[in-house]
Amino acid sequence: MVQGVNFRATAADHARRLGLTGRVWNRSDGAVECVAEGEGAALDRLREWLGHGPRLADVERVEATLDGAADALEANDWPRLQQYISEGAVRTRNRAFSALSAMKFTSAKISSLKIEINRLTSPPTADTHFIGAARFEAVNPERPPYVYRSYTAEFHVELQQEDDRWLVTDKVEYHELR
């Protein structure tokens, strides 16, 4: 179920744009139900759209993935962090593991997040741009200059949809802001 994204009204509008007639309503259990009539191809497109919902739902899921990854990084929780990274993103997984092995993060924050969803790719992708800021200290204090260091960078990160989740890929670029 998608909440807080005006799903029912958006579904009805999408069906109308496809030339379909029918009805969309909220059920007593909180789910949204749709009955539509029209040409088979238009019904197939509506059925596919209903499978992923409106773009806003995708944007909220992408944001939740990035926020969850930042929270896992701040908690220095590798098992939880890897849940947000695609299994095929070997380079990104290795970089994240190396960072958590060398540093203890005390904070990890995301700001100025911009998200663009592309459903024309297979699988669908999300192109994100944001400012990431982290504070950390060296796991081995004898290895300066990482003791109590902060790092702020502009990030460009691609996520891809795998089943109903958005996961970070190996397309991760960043440059430090000073």
Taking Cα atoms as reference points, which of 143, 116, 145, 138 lies closest to residue 129?
116
* Residue pLDDT, tens place only, 48-88: 877 766 666 788 889 999 999 999 999 999 999 999 999 99
Same domain, 127 and 92: yes
HSE-up of residue 74 (Cα within 13 Å, Cβ side): 14
Same domain, 100 and 14: no
Taking Cα atoms as reference points, which of 58, 57, 82 lies closest to residue 68?
82
Which member of 8, 55, 80, 95 is catalytic? 8
Domain that includes residue 64, residue range: 60-176
Same domain, 158 and 101: yes
Please tell me the distance from the alpha carbon of residue 165 to that of residue 169, in angstroms, as a whole number: 12
Query: Is 38 among the domain residues?
Result: yes
The tokens 């309503």 sit on which residue?
25
Identify the three-state secondary structure at position 18: coil
- Total structural domains within the chain: 2
Query: Is 141 among the domain residues?
Result: yes
* Residue pLDDT, tens place only, 115-169: 998 878 889 899 999 999 999 887 776 665 555 588 899 999 999 999 879 999 9
Q: What is the pLDDT of residue 3?
A: 43
End-to-end CA distance of the chain: 43
- Is position 8 annotated as part of the catalytic site? yes
Same domain, 28 and 83: no
Q: What is the pLDDT of residue 148?
A: 56
* Residue pLDDT, tens place only, 19-52: 999 988 877 776 678 899 999 998 888 888 777 6
Tell me if 152 sits within 8 A of 132, measured CB to CB. Answer: yes
Which member of 6, 26, 94, 140 is catalytic? 26
Question: 9 or 158: which carries more pLDDT confidence?
Answer: 158
- Is position 47 annotated as part of the catalytic site? no
* Residue pLDDT, tens place only, 85-106: 999 999 999 999 998 988 899 9
CATH for 73: 3.10.450.50
Same domain, 29 and 72: no
Please identify, among 21, 36, 52, the residue that sits at the C-terminal boundary of a domain. 52
Query: Is 2 among the domain residues?
Result: no
**CA 156 to mean position of chain CA atoms:** 13
Taking Cα atoms as reference points, which of 74, 66, 22, 54 lies closest to residue 166?
66
Query: Is 1 among the domain residues?
Result: no
